Amino acid sequence: MAESGQFLIDGKPTPFRAGQTIMQAAAEAGHYIPHLCYRPEFPPHGSCKLCSVKANGRFTSACFEPVTEGMKVESETDEIQGYRKRVVQMLFAEGNHYCAFCEKSGNCQLQAVAYHLGMEDTHYAHQYPQRKLDASHPDAMIDHDRCILCELCVRASRDLDRKEVFGVAGRGLQARLVVNSPSGLLGDSNFALTDAAAHVCPVGAILPKRQAFTTPIGMRRYDKHDIGEESSLTPIADKGE
């Protein structure tokens, strides 16, 4: 196989190196593909489906699909952007997301990607799940209402922190984030605010305590720019919330 080559994103010739996924090659070329469960330091997960594209006419996820020479990738077509908006709306309808009084507002990738895709309502009937807040840990809390099951915390804790604090249980709409402690509470686990897992949550599900409004609303990350203007290459450590 050649070391590098060229493929097309929405008709635009884009270089790639052998072994890269569509997401990686697109990010290197400065081309944003919406995503929530993908971060460059982890192997692709493929659960949120926001990075769905058509590759040579077939739907797939940009985060795990390897690029091939001359591949035609459709990303910002009306069809695909429309589907992505529906996926974001599904996430909003499935959990309990109240941006108006969520302390993550402005720093939340779910909210930011919703703005990016021009979402104006949740479209689907709200499911209003009953989920309990876990405030047992002295330095952090889990608001399960906002969890979108991206499993970034699961992967960060397992692969970077070597702790395996988090897991997923249940199935279907009952799938839920669980904590690896006998009581199931974060306070009884060996989770620490210095863990990478404490800083990967793209939404307001895992939050450090006592820092809610250190940056005022209006001066937050996505108050200043659209999420699409960000590089998808930057690892967690350099992003800083």
Residues in touch with other proteins (CB under 8 A): 43-50, 52, 59, 61, 64, 66, 83, 86-87, 90-91, 93-94, 124-125, 127, 148-149, 164, 166-175, 178-182, 184
Sign, Cα dihedral of 177, 216, 119, 100: positive
The vertex-42 CA angle with 202 and 233, nearest 5°, equals: 70
Residue 182 or 218 with smaller CB distance to other proteins: 182
Residue 30 or 82 with smaller CB distance to other proteins: 82
Q: What is the DSSP letter of 227?
A: G
Beta-bridge partner residues of 12? 9
Residue 52 or 107 with smaller CB distance to other proteins: 52
Least gap, CB of 213 to other proteins (angstroms): 30
Least gap, CB of 212 to other proteins (angstroms): 27
Rounded distance, CA 240 to CA 31, Å? 22
Least gap, CB of 189 to other proteins (angstroms): 9
Beta-bridge partner residues of 176? 169
Least gap, CB of 209 to other proteins (angstroms): 22
Rounded distance, CA 147 to CA 142, Å? 9
